[in-house]
Amino acid sequence: TLTQKSNSDKPMHIPISTGLIDKVTGKEVVSTKVLELKEETQTFEFPGLENDVVPSMLRGFSAPVKLVSSTGDVDEESLAFLAASDTDGFNRWEAGQRLFTSLTFQEMKGEKSDDTTGYVMEAVERTLASEDMDPSIKAYALTLPSESTLAEEIADGEVDPVALRDARGAVRIAIARKFQKELQTIYDSLTKEMSADEEFKVDAESVGQRRLRNTVLGYLTCIKETGDEQKAAADLATAHYDSATGMTDKMAALGALASMDGEGADARDAALQRFYDEAEGDALVLNKWFSVQALANLPDVLDRVKALIEHPDFTLSNPNRCRSLISAFTMNAAPFHAENGEGYEFIGKMLAELDALNPQISSRMGSSLIQWRRFGDNRATLMKAELQKLSEMKLSDDLFEIVQRGLK
């Protein structure tokens, strides 16, 4: 039974593409069928079903609507089932994202549910075990929602980027530890299969294999709590870098290495130097080199960014180079929004210097400081303080407009 609610005075005509998945066999027993919702409430019947089923609805983006249960509760058991068994790639991904999101927020609040944890692990287990799933879809199904996506689900004034990163990281590590053996098996199998083919291919199958292998690498290299684990993660990422046949694989390895610390620090520094040397001055490749360091998950990332400002290959007069380092740092939410305000202070200083050279870039970058309403009182006060400092300087019209908007 479906009920629609909208701002329209009359019921709208809403096409809802739906398939039914058998809860016992996991097979699709009713292929995609469009349900024409034309009344405020309608009941659709599917006779002849042998077992209970789970509906997969709004397939193929059939209607721009939001689907919620009549009780308002989230059926996590059904989400776990769809995340592993749905034949519609997007719905499978969406179900997994909703489960990951629920568990991450529970972790952040210190209220992690055994049921939700079980559903997430069940969905991941089924996804890993699936042999007929497209590798690209499997990679997407295993990928957690980004920090920015998760932040969009949080009300204004309550976003805590540091707690969000910690919670998301904890969920990721829990999955990686529980399925480390299975992940390693998939990684080794893909590595063997891909190394046997000397020709670099860009067909869907090859792209999917690289995407899945890089996703699995991300899980395996996030296990790095002990010295031995740090070394093992660094060795794996280095081997991945060594065998890379394209920039996608190389950046996946470098991204993992850039966040290495402890026993993995030497491997991190060696990989960054090697990537820089191999770039041979290519501007686009060097932009990637700056960005991967600005986006690293390290406790001293701000100090590293400040050091890179002084690098011979960095200049504020190059817009793309500014974006690759300074703008990239503002997207690294946890250090940028550090509670001591050092991230805001750094960006405020950079905006003042950059505005004299390129008002268009400084105004775009200034937008990172005007979202203070999204965060708690402490961060909001610190962000507004930087905006106030800027407002007292001689600014370009472009940046002045952004600063004044932020202060309103």
What does each of the 408 residues of the chain score in pLDDT, given as a tens digit?
Answer: 999 998 989 999 999 999 999 999 889 999 999 999 999 999 999 999 999 999 999 998 899 998 888 877 778 989 988 988 888 888 988 999 999 999 999 999 999 999 999 999 999 998 999 888 889 989 999 999 999 999 999 999 999 999 999 999 999 999 999 999 999 999 999 999 988 877 788 889 899 999 999 999 999 999 999 999 999 999 999 999 999 989 999 999 999 999 999 999 999 999 999 999 999 999 999 999 999 999 999 999 999 999 999 999 999 999 999 999 999 999 999 999 999 999 999 999 999 999 999 999 999 999 999 999 999 999 999 999 999 999 999 999 999 999 999 998
pTM: 0.89
For tokens 């989400």, name the residue: 79
HSE of 207, CA atoms in CB hemisphere, 13 A: 6
Q: How many whole angstroms separate alpha carbon 288 and alpha carbon 283?
A: 9
**How deeply is 141 buried, as exposed, middle or buried, from its count of CB atoms within 10 A (0-12, 13-18, 19+)?**
buried
Q: How many whole angstroms separate alpha carbon 368 and alpha carbon 362?
A: 10
Render the burial of 265-280: b for 16+ CB within 10 Å, e for the rest: eebbeebbebbbeebe
Structure tokens at 126: 């089924």
Q: Look up residue 113 and give its DSSP letter.
A: -
Distances (CA, A) of 355 to 19, 190, 286, 399: 55, 48, 23, 7
Structure tokens at 222: 């996030």
Q: Is the backbone of residue 43 left (phi > 0), alpha (psi -120 to 50) or beta?
A: beta
Query: Using alpha carbons only, how large is the chain's radius of gyration in Å?
Result: 24
* Number of residues in the chain: 408
Q: How many whole angstroms separate alpha carbon 374 and alpha carbon 18?
A: 37
